[in-house]
């Protein structure tokens, strides 16, 4: 049996979630797909899919097989497509991203899918760092000042300002701090990073560089949604990125403090693993970057949130 052909068929079945869906992608009948998968399972003495009348799912053997063959299969498909035509942006791409990026990421994905109707995206929003080498995810979108892992191929999507902020109701009662040292007199809300379990440090511009603080927090949360909500309720002062606070800052639900001490911006990054599988994703990655940048800045530069860095928001304190 042609193991390479079988691997591609198994990949399409897993992507489509059914034999019928895979058949449409491959241009054959569902019966032909089922027969090929069945013969392959019999030849190797392993069951790749659990079949019921209503669903189809990978077995543990199927998961392992797919993780090993997905990269080479994608690379082969990409190489074959380059023989006669330009590589298309199509197929299913699995993306993991920080939850706080949902609003801006979905806007960019809407643009991407409109431009490339043959593309399918599976998006998981999770603040844990996913292993791009494990075969489950193709691309990751993360927030960081820089990418320390040299084994990953990274594209910078946008700068991301960091703000120290509070609700007007909190500042009306407690007053606004005039320097980072005055934060010790305030209730502070901290963020524990799910990926590491560590507290996110607070950063401030200082002579000669960036000052890093680990304040005594009155409240600690483990997600950007909870951080934003607690701050909006007037529970204290927080530090967060523009991606999760833009709407509240624009509406006046939150205001910035210590603007003179704002640290250098972080960035939004798109990451992929190196190697043949990652190379096959280059056209999709390029298209995604183009959609993200155009949505944020009419296609000019690489700033997704250009207005947030310059917008003046007056504190009511």
pLDDT cut 90: percent of the chain above it: 22
307 pLDDT higher than 60: no
Correct CATH for 91-160+266-297 of 3.90.1150.10, 3.20.20.70, 3.60.40.10, 3.40.190.10:
3.40.190.10
Average pLDDT on 307-314 reads 32
Q: Tell me how far CA of residue 56 lies from CA of 31, 93, 120, 123, in angstroms.
A: 15, 19, 19, 20
Measure the CA–CA gap between 165 and 38, rounded to whole angstroms.
59
CATH code of the region 3-84: 1.10.10.10
Q: Has residue 285 got a pLDDT over 90?
A: no
What local confidence, expressed as pLDDT, does residue 304 receive? 37
CA distance readout (Å), 2 to 8, 43, 47, 164, 244 = 10, 11, 17, 59, 49
pLDDT digits (tens, 9 = 90+) for 151-203: 777 888 888 889 999 999 999 999 999 999 999 999 999 998 876 788 988 99
Read off the pTM: 0.60
Please check whether the two domains, 3-84 and 162-261, share a CATH topology.
no
Average pLDDT, the chain: 79
Superfamily, domain 162-261: Periplasmic binding protein-like II (3.40.190.10)
Rg of the chain (C-alpha set): 24
pLDDT in tens, 56-95: 888 888 888 877 777 776 666 555 544 433 345 777 888 9
Measured CA distances, 166 to 87, 244, 266, 317 (Å): 48, 14, 20, 10
Q: pLDDT at residue 136 above 50?
A: yes
Q: What is the pLDDT of residue 79?
A: 57
**For the chain, which residues make up each domain, given as ranges?**
3-84, 91-160+266-297, 162-261
pLDDT digits (tens, 9 = 90+) for 225-242: 899 999 999 999 999 988
pLDDT grade, residue 111 (50/70/90)? confident
* pLDDT, position 272: 82
């Amino acid at each position: 049996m042609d193991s390479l052909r079988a691997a591609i068929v198994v990949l399409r079945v897993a992507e489509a979630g059914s034999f019928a869906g895979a058949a449409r992608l491959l241009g054959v009948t569902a019966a032909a797909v089922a027969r090929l998968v069945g013969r392959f399972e019999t030849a190797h003495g392993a069951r790749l899919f659990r079949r019921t009348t209503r669903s189809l799912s990978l077995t543990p053997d199927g998961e392992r097989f797919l993780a090993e063959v997905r990269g080479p299969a994608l690379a082969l498909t990409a190489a074959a497509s380059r023989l006669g035509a330009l590589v298309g942006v199509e197929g299913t791409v699995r993306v993991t991203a920080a939850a706080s990026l949902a609003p801006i990421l979905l806007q960019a994905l809407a643009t991407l899918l409109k431009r490339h109707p043959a593309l399918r995206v599976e998006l998981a929003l999770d603040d844990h760092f996913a292993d791009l080498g494990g075969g489950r995810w193709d691309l990751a979108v993360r927030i960081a000042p820089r990418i320390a892992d040299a084994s990953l191929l990274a594209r910078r999507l946008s700068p991301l300002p960091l703000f120290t902020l509070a609700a007007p109701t909190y500042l009306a009662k407690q007053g606004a701090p005039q320097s980072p040292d005055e934060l010790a007199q305030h209730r502070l809300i901290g963020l524990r990073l799910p990926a590491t379990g560590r507290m996110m440090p607070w950063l401030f511009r200082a002579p000669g560089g960036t000052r890093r603080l680990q304040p005594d927090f009155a409240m600690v949360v483990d997600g950007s949604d909870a951080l934003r909500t607690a701050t909006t309720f007037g529970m204290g002062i927080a530090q967060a990125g523009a991606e999760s606070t833009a709407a509240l800052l624009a509406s006046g639900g939150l205001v910035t403090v210590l603007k003179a001490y704002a640290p250098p911006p972080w960035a939004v990054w798109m990451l992929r693993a190196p190697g043949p599988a990652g190379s096959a994703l280059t056209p999709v990655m390029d298209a995604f970057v183009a959609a993200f940048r155009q949505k944020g800045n009419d296609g000019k530069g690489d700033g997704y949130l250009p207005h947030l860095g310059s917008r003046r928001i007056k504190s009511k304190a």
